[in-house]
Amino acid sequence: MKKFLFIFSIFLAIFIVPILRAEAALVAPIKILLIPGHDNVVWGARYGNTKEADMNLAVATQIYNILKQDKRFDVYITRDSGGYTKNFADFLTQKNAILVFEENAKKILQGKITSGNFVLKDNTPHQSVNEDIALRLYGFNKWANENKIDAMIHVHFNDYPRPTRWTIGQYKGFTIYIPDPQFANSKKSAQLATNIFTQLRKKYIISNWKPESAGLTPDQQLIAIGANNTLDASVRSVLIEYSYIYEKMFRTSSTRLAAYKDMANLTVIGIKNYFYPTPPSL
């Protein structure tokens, strides 16, 4: 009997326990942080009377509502229709702590640049953000690290300089910005982005602006995806530019709302396919 118990305990240790641990890791809620770009003060791009901040919030809210129904995910969002949500409303009161976080990251990265362990590259041109928005973005990164967030999804719509807000531009299509390959969170972020990209490409064209035409666009400067290597390796971060704000599908309320729903659904499929891939058939 003792011999049987001993053999059984070895069997458990070698075969059963690892399986249980793997399942425990799989069923633990995946922590997703959704960041609808800009806010009610700085609304980003604009076409006619349509503000990017409102579009970002509409899509991010739909992604949030879909993922909240799946118990495999623990979902957070930085703002809702009432403004910044509880966890993020007081970020500007934490200015000193966030600035220390930012400056420490910059010093470490500068040391790597000086030693030749990090190479600066040309990036896709971006509009600069004001001090408060930059502070919030670095604050989101700090919060994501401290709260062991698995993925940050930044929701945006694209634009480029036009004569007036009613002008229809020449560029169209979507792209997904990912961290530069030298950043700690690059590999996992790129894998998540690829899954989302695969879904969006089924319905939407890739950006025809040359710097974004690969579909997945690495970047060193965007705070959202970890500028200055501010995100831990385990924190995947992608910034989705779903399309250009003046595209035809956004010019009427009905087609705009349909596009939001479709984009949100495809994004969720991509997220789920990444974290819970379907086993290959035998």
Closest by Cα among 260, 246, 221, 262 to 134: 221
pLDDT over 60 at 16, yes or no: no
End-to-end CA distance of the chain: 40
Please tell me the predicted confidence (pLDDT) of residue 122: 85
Residue 245 token pair: 């704000």
Q: Give CA–CA dist 26/29, Å, rounded.
A: 8
Please tell me the predicted confidence (pLDDT) of residue 7: 37
Q: Give CA–CA dist 182/186, Å, rounded.
A: 7
Do the beta carbons of residue 174 and residue 59 sit within 8 Å?
no
| Whether the predicted model's global pTM rises above the 0.85 cut | yes
Residue type, 280: P
Give pLDDT tens digits for 27-61. 579 999 999 999 988 999 999 999 999 999 999 99
Buried b (16+ CB within 10 A) or exposed e, 166-180: eeebebbbbbbbbbb
Residue 148 token pair: 């062991």
Contacts of 43-47 with CB under 8 Å at 24 or more apart are 44/156, 44/157, 44/159, 45/157, 45/158, 45/159, 45/245, 46/159, 46/165, 46/245, 47/159, 47/165, 47/166, 47/245, 47/246, 47/250
Average pLDDT, the chain: 89
pLDDT over 80 at 208, yes or no: yes
